[in-house]
Amino acid sequence: MKLQIAFTLLFLCVTTLFSQEVAIDSSKVVDTKYREDQFYLAITYNLLANKPQNVSQTGFSSGFHFGYIRDFPLNKRRNFGLGLGLGASINSYNHNIYVFEDDKGNISYANLNDLDLSYSKNKFATYLFEVPLEVRWRTSTATEYKFWRIYTGFKMGYLVASSTKFKGSGGKVKNSNISDFNNLQYGLSFSAGYNTWNFHIYYSLNPILNKDAKLDGETIDMSAIKFGLIFYIL
């Protein structure tokens, strides 16, 4: 809970910086050494790929992503360059895998379809610090603030916390920071759009859980695909 509050406060701080940047930008003189799109905020729908047999997602799985990317233009026009940054994300995944401690105190997994349990909530959540690296192309100029952009790249995430939550006929079951989550999570990213509205997709290249996580003897190799909207602010 404390970590979730910390992430929320960080989110509010970044949002405040966004509004400050917009206010400052409106009064700037022309800067021929300008840099673009250094703060970002994204909202995504999170899909689980490579799910084991009979595993499905339930409800809405969301992601919130925010951070700062340092822009490094590579040409004189400054419409092509690189971006390297630091950010954070909060991700939830709703599904029908029951995560619990067995009689020996070990984390185990079962399919809720096979159990006599009704439930209203069953999910796991991850909290990540992220390092995005982007190749950037856009149609911006020193005085044009509405432009087309295509950014593609690679994102490395480090897991700082995780949790699983179940609420149903068996009561409430919660687990925190179990060792079965991969500490490093990485993948490819792509963003494209015009002005405020930009499409964003992230495709994970490794599983969310490690090889110790097994369901009916099968490794749970689920990975994340996240797509939604991303907003860039100077």
Provide mean pLDDT across the span 36-48: 93
Q: Kind of pairing, strands 214-215 and 218-219?
A: antiparallel
For the chain, domains (ranges, CATH) are 2-25+35-233 (2.40.128)
What's the pLDDT at 94?
A: 97
pTM, two decimals, is 0.84
Residues 6+ apart with CB under 8 A from 37: 69, 71, 83, 136, 138, 149, 151, 232, 233, 234
pLDDT band at 2 (very low <50, low <70, confident <90, very high): low
Residue range 87-114, pLDDT digits in tens: 999 999 999 999 998 888 889 999 999 9
What's the pLDDT at 122?
A: 95
Provide mean pLDDT across the span 198-215: 96
Helix ranges (H only) for the chain are: 2-25
Which tokens go with 73?
Answer: 């233009």
Q: Are 14 and 69 in contact (CB under 8 A)?
A: no
